[in-house]
């Protein structure tokens, strides 16, 4: 199998996997970064969201061959101690219920706020629209993004 070099959370890695292996499974199964979750596997729920070159992307649908050589950040790399402003806001608002989707929500929110630090309410709704929460914690997610933006 070919080897692919990827930089995840500032660390260079070389993984030996088939070219169509989704990034999600490289992160979880080969690099032990299990904070990124599997929800649907077809880019529909957002549970697997990570940053690729600063953009929020769905790792379940990105073959490793398409991301080789690029910088990836997972929830584990957002901060060392949960001190990223979005993580702090999430705790302040007490967002999660079951928690399963929250890493993906936080990664979407943080990439969004990096590009738009002072969003309107409608912009937050649009940005977070594609991240599904089975517990329907949407009101708290929205509030936490507002708090993180202040």
Q: DSSP letter string over 69-111?
A: T-EEE-HHHH-SSS-SHHHHHHHHHT--SS-TTHHHHHHHHHH
Helix (H) or strand (E) holding 45: none
Pairing state of beta strands 55-58 and 11-16?
A: unpaired
Q: Which token pair is 63?
A: 């073959």
For residue 150, the minimal CB distance to ligand FES (Å) is 29
Site string for ligand FES, 30-49 (x = CB under 6 A): --------xxxx-xxxxxx-
Q: In terms of CB distance, is 87 or 105 closer to ligand FES?
A: 105
Nearer to ligand FES, 41 or 63 (CB): 41
Residues 55-84 that bind ligand FES (CB under 6 A): 58, 60
Instruction: Provide the binding-site residues for ligand FES, judged by CB under 6 A.
Output: 38-41, 43-48, 58, 60
């Amino acid at each position: 199998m070919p080897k692919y070099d990827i930089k995840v959370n500032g660390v260079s890695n070389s993984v030996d996997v088939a070219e169509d292996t989704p990034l999600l499974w490289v992160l979880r199964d080969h690099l032990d970064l299990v904070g990124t979750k599997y929800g649907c596997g077809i880019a529909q729920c957002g549970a697997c969201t990570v940053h690729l070159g600063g953009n929020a992307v769905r790792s379940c649908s990105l073959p490793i061959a398409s991301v080789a050589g690029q910088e990836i950040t997972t929830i584990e790399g957002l901060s060392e101690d949960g001190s990223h402003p979005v993580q702090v806001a999430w705790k302040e608002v007490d967002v999660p219920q079951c928690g399963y989707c929250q890493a993906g929500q936080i990664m979407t929110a943080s990439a969004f706020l990096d590009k738009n630090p002072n969003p309107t309410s409608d912009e937050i709704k649009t940005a977070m629209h594609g991240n599904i929460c089975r517990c329907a914690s949407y009101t708290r997610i929205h509030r936490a993004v507002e708090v993180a933006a202040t």
